[in-house]
Amino acid sequence: MSTYQTLLYYCYSPIENAEQFAADHLDFCRSLNLVGRIIVADEGLNGTVSGTVEACKAYMEAVHADTRFTKTEFKIDNVDELSFIKMHCRYKPEIVHSGLRDPKLIDPNKQTGIHLEPKEFMEMIDSDDVVVLDVRSNYEHSVGKFKNAVTLDIENFREFPEKVKELEQYKNKKILTYCTGGIKCEKASALLIKEGFEDVYQLHGGIIKYGKEAGGKDFEGKCYVFDNRVTVDVNTVNPVVISTCKNCGKVTPKMINCANALCNEHFTQCDECGWEMEGCCSDACKQQPDKREYDGTGYYVKIPQPVNYDKISKRKHKNFPPKISTTI
């Protein structure tokens, strides 16, 4: 059995005094020796954390013990080493940046596409009246996507609302949206319904859950994840590699960040070009004198930003998490 686990989760649930909650939650995660990245907003939580099996168990129990987050679903991966180096928990306007902040217009707690369990999704994707829609960014679907999926040319999910007009041709079809863990689909499917799409669905739990419960059938390539694993395998039924090295064109599943921090482009690069280019996407980036040292992984730890306590509300807030008797 693996020593560590990595948890992927989100929950749309209003949080009062969310800035203070973020600071308190960071302290709690550190008390469990967890590492990871959590976004806290007035609308809820979005996180990936990694730690010992015992620490992850204690964390899940604490989240579920809070009545605001009892419905949170955790996708659990057993891993041989921690998936992060540091622990970050920050307050932001949204738990996934979409630009759709007005709950009067888009509220995942009130209306979204019909949730399909992985096996239901698998049974529908080959139907003639279905369009499978990837709502992720270019660098994500370039390394892996569902067979015949419609992809959008977007660098960030906040561009998705501008692309909806390009989907008008599919209004008479069933739209099946998917993303990594399900969080983007909550707002993407809600927006599609608001824009007049009548038959909208979403893959419950995203690609990660689909891999665990349906074997990942017909997901081509790897799934991009937002930790130092960078990508993970999904398909154990009919796997293929679809991505190619940006520099030489060789088929490769390896995705990295450009060693030039001023560029930091996500791109696929084979090992040979990685060492030759020193982890850079171009000769111009390779010549950058302050580029980061390439160690073969192409993953670089961000410098943590301090919590701005001056911005934190002074109002009383509910204690979270509850005290836990589990000894870590």
Residues annotated as catalytic are 179
Distance, in Å, from the CA atom of 194 to the CA atom of 287, rounded to the nearest integer, reads 48
Contact between 17 and 315 (Cβ < 8 Å): yes
**Residue count (the chain):** 328
The 10 Å CB-count burial string (b at 16+, else e) for 41-70 is bbbbbbbbbbbbeebbbbbbebbeebebbe
Strand ranges of the sheet holding 44-52, from the earlier edge strand across to the other edge: 75-79, 4-12, 44-52, 35-41, 87-91
Contact between 246 and 255 (Cβ < 8 Å): no
| Helical (H) or strand (E) element with 185 | helix 183-194
285 three-state secondary structure: helix
Cα dihedral sign, 214-220-222-226: negative
**Token pair in block for residue 45:** 């939580």
Whole-angstrom CA distances from 298 to 173, 250, 286 are 40, 18, 14
For every residue of 203-261, DSSP letters joined together read ETTHHHHHHHHHTTTTEEE-EE-SSTT-EE---SSS-----B-TTT--B---EEE-S-T
Contact between 241 and 214 (Cβ < 8 Å): no
For every residue of 19-72, DSSP letters joined together read HHHHHHHHHHHHHTT-EEEEEEETTEEEEEEEEEHHHHHHHHHHHHHSTTSTT-
